[in-house]
Amino acid sequence: MSNLLVFKAALTAAWVFMRPFAHRCTPLLVLLFISCMAQGKRVAVLGASGGIGQPMSLLLKLDPNVSSLSLFDIQGSPGVAADIGHCCTQGTVEGFSGSDQLDKALAGADLVIIPAGVPRKPGMTRDDLFNTNASIVKQLVEGCARACPEAHIGIISNPVNSTVPIAAETLKAAGVYNPKRLFGITTLDVVRANKFVADSQGWDPKDVEVTVVGGHAGKTILPLLSRVKDVEWDHDTLEKLYNRIQFGGDEVVQAKDGAGSATLSMAYAGARFANSLLRAMNGEAGVTECAFVESSVTEAPFFSTRIELTAEGVGKIHEVGQLSEWEQANFDEMLPVLQE
Ligand SMILES: NC(=O)c1ccc[n+]([C@@H]2O[C@H](COP(=O)([O-])OP(=O)(O)OC[C@H]3O[C@@H](n4cnc5c(N)ncnc54)[C@H](O)[C@@H]3O)[C@@H](O)[C@H]2O)c1
């Protein structure tokens, strides 16, 4: 019997037994209900053997919200699954390799994270990846539409500004598009902003949460540093920080010198986003992240702002709000790019 059925049976039995005393037991019943709903989820990673896929899968194996991890790639995933599966944390891990295994890998998934595709080399922009990665994402999302049409889908493959709309069109064509359940994962921009701001002020990064709006490429990444509390920015520091957050990806691509783009920090960011969404899916209130989702807060069809996560996925989408003069100029410049 699946975990879900066991939980439902337990809940029903408890209700039948306690019903006569319900008026005295309401708080207990509420607690019982919440703990029954807080189950581990089934997570699939597509592109699991890659530079991001491997460390992110490892971090997901450590997440108590994950009961089963399904690792898919065109090569190498059974080995990654066997390796990660030996970690003595709860939950199962299974590897699936080759396109004919895709639907099997996705069956029953609650959340699918997609880091499949080619990474950037020095001199390439994220847009240069479009042709290759767009067709990979399309093919994988078609698999989601067939095998787990209700799953939440988080896209990491670049260029996120284009792969997310492509995923939406693919799901629409299959008749299963739910805008609340499709996310472009831009968490790395927030992670970088938090770290760089904290370092500039000598703070602990856990005390900083920068809202980053827009998209996920160069100038379309707009960190709202004017909102950071308790700091008097001087112009030079601020200018350097905006630039470093917007082009932090290039820093890693150049330092890796041809060996790929950000993988470990992206794995951390992807696992953080998954953890936030899984907690919200389990009923935790007040969980927020910035993510690139279908949105009407600007004229761009997809836009990243802070969103409240719920069991259904995207909850309230926050407005962009008040911007500084510099942020407003950057915002005006990026909006036409995101509308293309
Ligand atoms: N969203 C972000 O913030 C962010 C940050 C860094 C990198 N990225 C992007 O993430 C992607 C992956 O980067 P990486 O460094 O892990 O690359 P990588 O080359 O190390 O790994 C990609 C993996 O995808 C697999 N793959 C290719 N085609 C596939 C298919 N059809 N089905 C399943 N798997 C397939 C490959 O076999 C490989 O294991 C790139 O597009 C990169 O630009 C996004």
Ligand 1 within 6 A of 49 CB? yes
Measure 290 CA to ligand 1 centroid, in angstroms.
21
Domain boundary among 184, 217, 235: 184
Q: How far apart, in whole angstroms, are the C-alpha atoms of residue 115 and residue 120? A: 13
Ligand 1 within 6 A of 136 CB? yes
pLDDT > 50? residue 172: yes
Same domain, 82 and 205: no
152: annotated active-site residue? no
pLDDT > 60? residue 13: no
Backbone angles phi, psi at 314, to 5 degrees: -70, 125
Same domain, 173 and 303: no
- Omega before 301 cis (within 30°)? no
Same domain, 263 and 286: yes
Same domain, 271 and 150: no
Same domain, 211 and 321: yes
For the segment 184-207, the average pLDDT, to the nearest whole number, is 97
Same domain, 179 and 279: no
Same domain, 130 and 20: no
Give the pairing type, strands 313-317 and 302-310: antiparallel
Q: How far apart, in whole angstroms, are the C-alpha atoms of residue 24 and residue 243? A: 59
Q: For 93-138, how does the pLDDT look when each residue is reduced to its tens digit (9 = 90+)? A: 999 999 999 999 999 999 999 999 998 888 888 788 898 999 999 9
Domain boundary among 136, 162, 184: 184
Q: How far apart, in whole angstroms, are the C-alpha atoms of residue 210 and residue 191? A: 8
Total tally of structural domains belonging to the chain: 3
Same domain, 99 and 4: no
Ligand 1 within 6 A of 261 CB? yes
Same domain, 128 and 267: no
Q: Which of the four pLDDT bands, split at 50, 70 and 90, describes residue 19?
A: low
pLDDT > 90? residue 29: no
Mean residue pLDDT across the chain: 91
pLDDT > 80? residue 238: yes
Chain-centroid distance, C-alpha 139: 19
pLDDT > 90? residue 225: yes
Residue 5 sits in which domain range?
A: 1-36
The pLDDT of residue 18 is 53
Q: Whose CA is nearest to atom 21 of ligand 1?
A: 50
Sign for the CA dihedral angle at 133, 134, 135, 141 comes to positive
Ligand 1 within 6 A of 106 CB? no
Measure 117 CA to ligand 1 centroid, in angstroms.
4
The pLDDT of residue 1 is 37
Residue 180 and residue 168 in contact, taking contact as beta carbons nearer than 8 Å: no
Same domain, 148 and 191: no
Domain boundary among 135, 152, 184: 184
The pLDDT of residue 63 is 98
Percent of the chain with pLDDT strictly greater than 70: 89
Whichever domain contains 167, its CATH number is 3.40.50.720
The pLDDT of residue 21 is 55
Token pair 């992240």 is at which residue?
A: 289
DSSP for 230-288? S----HHHHHHHHHHHHTHHHHHHHHHTTS-S--HHHHHHHHHHHHHHHHHHTT-SS-E
Same domain, 52 and 141: yes
Ligand 1 within 6 A of 47 CB? yes
pLDDT > 50? residue 46: yes
The pLDDT of residue 6 is 47
Number of alpha carbons in the 13 Å side-chain half-sphere of residue 223: 29
Measure 138 CA to ligand 1 centroid, in angstroms.
14
Same domain, 6 and 41: no
The pLDDT of residue 127 is 81
Q: How far apart, in whole angstroms, are the C-alpha atoms of residue 308 and residue 36? A: 23
Q: How far apart, in whole angstroms, are the C-alpha atoms of residue 180 and residue 175? A: 15
Q: Whose CA is nearest to atom 40 of ligand 1?
A: 119
Q: For 264-311, how does the pLDDT look when each residue is reduced to its tens digit (9 = 90+)? A: 999 999 999 999 999 999 999 999 999 999 999 999 999 999 999 999
Chain-centroid distance, C-alpha 109: 15
Whichever domain contains 271, its CATH number is 3.90.110.10
